[in-house]
A and B are shown apart, each in its own frame.
Chain A
Amino acid sequence: MTQALGSFPGGLVLSGQKKRSTQTPIRRMPLTKILVLPLQQHIGEPAVAIVEIGEKVLKGQKIAAAEGHVSVGLHAPSSGTITAVGEHPIPHPSGLSATCITIETDGEDRWIDRQVNEDISQLSSHELRQRIREAGIVGLGGAGFPSFIKLNPGIHHHVETLILNGAECEPYITCDDMIMRERAQGIMDGIEVMQLALNVKNCVIAIEDNKPEAISAMELALASRTQLKNTKVVVIPTRYPTGSEKQLIQVLTGKQVPSRGLTLDIGIVLHNVGTAYAVGRAIKHGEPLISRIVTVTGKDVKHAGNFETLFGTPIHELLAFCETKRQAEEPFIQGGPMMGYNLAGDNLPVTKTANCILVGVDDATESTTPLPCIRCGDCADACPVSLLPQQLYWHSRSKDLEKTREYNLFDCIECGCCSYVCPSQIPLVQYFRFAKTETMNQEQEQQKSDHARIRHDNRQERQERERLEKAEKQRKRKAALAASKAAKAKKEAEAAAETQTDKQET
């Protein structure tokens, strides 16, 4: 079935730079001596360590448990001994440290017992979700949102369409491309599981047309699956940021996700193809998520390519394995050149969200003093969300947060198209992030002060009530006293009167 594709406004046609890392098949990054595992590698609450220092663990053994609903567990990527549970630098835009579990590997790479499931049709959707959660699976496209939640539409939503995102629109990154080329059957396993869990009618695998090998591999794998008759591969034009959730939905369906709403609101669920592969491994082979495909590329990497890397592997060891000559003053990026972030150093672990390590961007933007905005509007023409970045910039600069919200700041997906086209070289995305954070801080402050005010009001009300009650009690007591006094007086008077009459009578 061919269906006319929609499109989104703006966007960019970028030079893909993908050849460099697709010349060799996926290779396995050798086991390193030390593995460092941050407790939070996903959006939500950090996991809680359930192992102690000195404890021996097996490959795949759970070492940290999910905490709260939006959270997933963490597993030992290899067998060895826990040597530390404590602060360690993590990959983060601000170079933060966080609690990590350190494993000294024993080189045996010994697995725990794995539960193999050939027939998944016997499992309920609840059971499937539970297992996916237990396997520690999060979105591997880069955001790291716990996948089981996105497989649980709840009773209020009905999912029409499952979209498998294989667009991979950012330059340089090729981990999804390679996994689709080489492990299409594994991805199909995962898609079957996801369809069971969601009970969907339609399923679309979206791939940009700059990946012909991946497209044919996926089509071939799909043809061999009788259970996936409802699924089709849709080839979409290569245009950044078509792989962004909202834009991909617009391209495939013509629909728009409501502002600040969920894809579920229009009956759509999206998962990354790499996530689907992980789901397949977890359900069919009983393997928790302990590794991922990482693209290591850039002009300073001698052996660029894709590497199946255990979580916790130090990035500097991965770079050394690819013979990388990192230049200190160049950006050193986790993610792509458009939406990735600069890493503070290379003694950081590979995590669940590390889709790409980019060392040496060709024609990287030089750091210059930006010229003033000349209001050319190129940014507005490039914005895939139809924002007016020039207005947002103006108001962010003057910290007029109220206005930035009026101009839909929170619909900005931070794709960077506006900064890319800006002739004045203004780092627009930075301004928008600043304004967003500032607004959220203010909202928090506001909430806090609201809380405080409400507490204060309640307290005053309570005090007033207590005072009134006290006064009432006092009044009642006084009244009672007065009444009893009066009664007494009356009695006395009566008694006196009686005596009087008695006297008179006598």
Chain B
Amino acid sequence: MPLFRLSPPFLSGTSRVTLHMIQLLLALVPALIAMVFFFGPGVLVNITLAITVALIAEAIMLKLRDRPLKPFLTDGSAIVTAVLFAMAIPPLAPWWLTTIGILFAIIFAKHLFGGLGYNPFNPAMVAYVLLLLSFPLEMTTWLPATGVTENSLDLVSAFQFIFSGELANGAGIDTISGATPLDVMKTQVGLSELPSYIINQPLFGLFGGIGWEWINIWFAIGGLFLIYRGVISWHIPAAMIAALLVISTATYLIAPEAAASPLFHLLSGGTMIGAFFIATDPVTASTTLKGRLIFGAGVGLLTYIIRAWGGYPDGIAFAVLLMNMLVPLIDYYTQPKVYGTVK
């Protein structure tokens, strides 16, 4: 016989943290399939490794902090962090890269701040930025998408490479790796190439990079599912996409010789995973309605600024962390008018 709560309200809705996390993972599945299709099964190895390390780290930290294991290990938050992180890093990232990243995310970014609900910064993005700053080479070594080259790395060889750093034929990663479309765009615009010319290269597809555009679309579809299910609200993704669209359209119209098209920005790099899965992390995002709009717009704007004028090809992680810092301020100044205080 269960014990019942004896204080009002005696009823509760069906919303549960764990249920949110499960739906979030489900919403990632289409994009994951697309990633495997375009970049091979490496991401699956990364995810498995990341989840394992995350759960171990979580358990150790809970033990050290004298917190109950079961409710926190099963809340799904560590798994979500692990999966998002593993999907953000290159598909053939070496095992130690993933391990360092996850340990840093769970131990430093999450538990040292107080665990679930108390971390001011998105743990997956903290880890991502740490690795990007410390191991820029490994973090930018992407594979060209299927359709660009014939890369037929199977699960076994992906596994082998991730753990040994060598391909089956003994060759290094640089024999098969290549730059990402955002990378190419940034470098070549820097060399005064015209974006309209750059996108004719084989790496580029209809709107963005081959493969990347589809992955982004599937992330967006997963995100719409989350909005439909009420797991996330529409405010942050809408504001972020709108801001990115506005500024990229403006620069595209003003200086088409130096700016990529708005659609290229929407469907490249981490735009959609950022908009629907990263920036919407409730713990680290703004909570008021107006605040969410400002937060989302800020992420979109900063992402563009970093992509176009900053030192890195993509800016989602930096943009999210920078906006995380502003959350207390945004929330404070966007409090809704309480009933009876409106004149």
Cβ-neighbour of B3 out of A261, A366, A373, A416 (below 8 A): A366
In the bound complex, CA of A338 to CA of B7 (Å): 9
Main secondary structure of the interface of B (DSSP, over half): loop
In the bound complex, CA of A363 to CA of B12 (Å): 8
Given known pairs A367-B3, A367-B4, A374-B282, the reply for A411 and B9 (CB within 8 Å) is no
> Looking at the complex, which of B101-109, B113-121, B132-140, B156-164 is the stretch in contact with chain A?
B113-121
Using a CB-CB cutoff of 8 Å, which residues 192-241 of chain A contact chain B? none
B6 within 8 A of A: yes
Q: Given the complex, which residues of A lie within 8 Å of B336, measured CB to CB?
A: 9, 380, 386, 388
A323-342 vs B, CB cutoff 8 Å, 1 = contact: the mask equals 00000011101000111111
In the bound complex, CA of A32 to CA of B13 (Å): 40
**When the two chains form their complex, are residues A375 and B283 in contact, meaning their CB atoms are under 8 A apart?**
yes
Closest chain A CB from B112 CB (angstroms): 15
User: Closest residue to B11 on the A side, CB-wise?
Assistant: A337
In the bound complex, CA of A391 to CA of B12 (Å): 20
In the bound complex, CA of A384 to CA of B336 (Å): 12
**When the two chains form their complex, are residues A364 and B115 in contact, meaning their CB atoms are under 8 A apart?**
no
In the bound complex, CA of A225 to CA of B174 (Å): 91
In the bound complex, CA of A257 to CA of B339 (Å): 8
Closest chain B CB from A321 CB (angstroms): 24
In the bound complex, CA of A421 to CA of B283 (Å): 17
In the bound complex, CA of A256 to CA of B118 (Å): 36
> Looking at the complex, which of A72-80, A142-150, A423-431 is the stretch in contact with chain B?
A423-431
Using a CB-CB cutoff of 8 Å, which residues 1-25 of chain B contact chain A? 1-13, 15-17, 19-20
Q: Given the complex, which residues of B lie within 8 Å of A25, measured CB to CB?
A: none
Closest chain A CB from B275 CB (angstroms): 17
**When the two chains form their complex, are residues A427 and B288 in contact, meaning their CB atoms are under 8 A apart?**
no
**When the two chains form their complex, are residues A367 and B6 in contact, meaning their CB atoms are under 8 A apart?**
yes
A116 within 8 A of B: no
Q: Can you list 30 A-B contacts (CB < 8 A)?
A: A8-B339, A9-B336, A246-B340, A256-B339, A260-B340, A331-B6, A338-B9, A340-B8, A361-B10, A364-B11, A365-B4, A365-B12, A367-B2, A367-B4, A371-B75, A372-B115, A372-B117, A374-B17, A374-B77, A385-B338, A385-B340, A386-B338, A388-B288, A414-B8, A416-B11, A420-B9, A424-B17, A425-B12, A429-B7, A429-B9
Q: Which B residues contact A (CB, under 8 angstroms)? A: 1-13, 15-17, 19-20, 68, 71-72, 75, 77, 115-118, 233, 282-283, 285, 287-289, 292, 331, 335-342
Q: Which A residues contact B (CB, under 8 angstroms)? A: 8-9, 12, 14, 171, 246, 250, 256-261, 329-331, 333, 337-342, 361, 363-367, 369, 371-378, 380-381, 384-388, 390-391, 407-408, 411, 414, 416, 419-425, 427, 429-430
